[in-house]
Amino acid sequence: MAKTFTQEFTKGLWEEIAPFRLVLGLCPVLGVTTTVENGIGMGLATTFVLVFSNLLVASLRNIIPSKVRIACYIIIIATFVVVIELLMQAFTYPLFLKLGVFIPLIVVNCIVLGRAEAFASKNSISFSIADGLGIGIGFTLSLAALGAVRELIGANNLTLWTTPTSVIGLQEVFGANFEPFAFMVQAPGAFVCLGLMLCGMNLLGSK
């Protein structure tokens, strides 16, 4: 069954959308999504690591001995995580501070290792890049969606991006009299919100 480049890309956006369908890599999903901005930043960082580790794993797939392949994948992934860590420290320092420990934690994100093992080690370079991009963007979208729900209800805001001088996004979406439901931006709200979103996905998918 030959698949096209586009099919590999689009499957990550709905059919195999990472946090919901595969239920992998939940730590950043729950941990950083207090605002949309954090969700997008985290998603893009993960996408970067996914695409480049997929690229490298796919191009080295005939060289890496199968016995030590997991160790090799982890080193490849860790290298790109260090790259994105340093890049974010240099160019988006406030975001880097907000995401904190979750940036180095991309190393142990099951999605990245899972794609390297399940897809990139068996497919050609171009398909692996498409797969990495698709899964990465799907991951970013789900983080942004969860972040949007939590931030809207929990803080009454919708921040897309913060520059040193201004904030791009909406403030007080429901009007100034809306009392934010702070439960949503705190720890317990993350679990409940993701659980209910998963329930919604199941409802949509079962039709």
CB nearer to another protein: give 5 or 191. Answer: 191
According to the binding rule CB under 8 A, does residue 66 interact with another protein?
Answer: no
Candidates 42-50, 126-134, 163-171, 185-193: pick the segment binding another protein (CB under 8 A).
185-193
> Residue 128 to residues 125, 135, 141, 164, 178: CA-CA distances in angstroms?
5, 10, 20, 36, 46
Distance CA 21, CA 155 (A): 28
Rounded to 5 degrees, what are φ and ψ at 171? -110, 145
Distance CA 168, CA 161 (A): 5
> Residue 101 to residues 81, 90, 161, 170, 187: CA-CA distances in angstroms?
12, 16, 20, 27, 16
According to the binding rule CB under 8 A, does residue 85 interact with another protein?
Answer: yes
Return the biggest CA–CA distance within the chain: 62
Site string for another protein, 88-127 (x = CB under 8 A): ------------xx--xx-xxxx--x--------------
Distance CA 193, CA 177 (A): 23
CB nearer to another protein: give 103 or 130. Answer: 103
According to the binding rule CB under 8 A, does residue 192 interact with another protein?
Answer: yes
CB nearer to another protein: give 171 or 186. Answer: 186
25, amino acid identity = G
Candidates 53-61, 68-76, 118-126, 160-168: pick the segment binding another protein (CB under 8 A).
68-76
For another protein, the binding residue among 12, 39, 154, 189 (CB under 8 A) is: 189
Q: Which residues inside 22-41 make contact with another protein, applying CB under 8 A?
A: 23-27, 30-31
Residue for token pair 């982890």? 74
Which residues contribute to the site for another protein (CB under 8 A)? 23-27, 30-31, 71, 74-75, 78-79, 81-82, 85-86, 100-101, 104-105, 107-110, 113, 186-196, 198-200, 202-203, 206
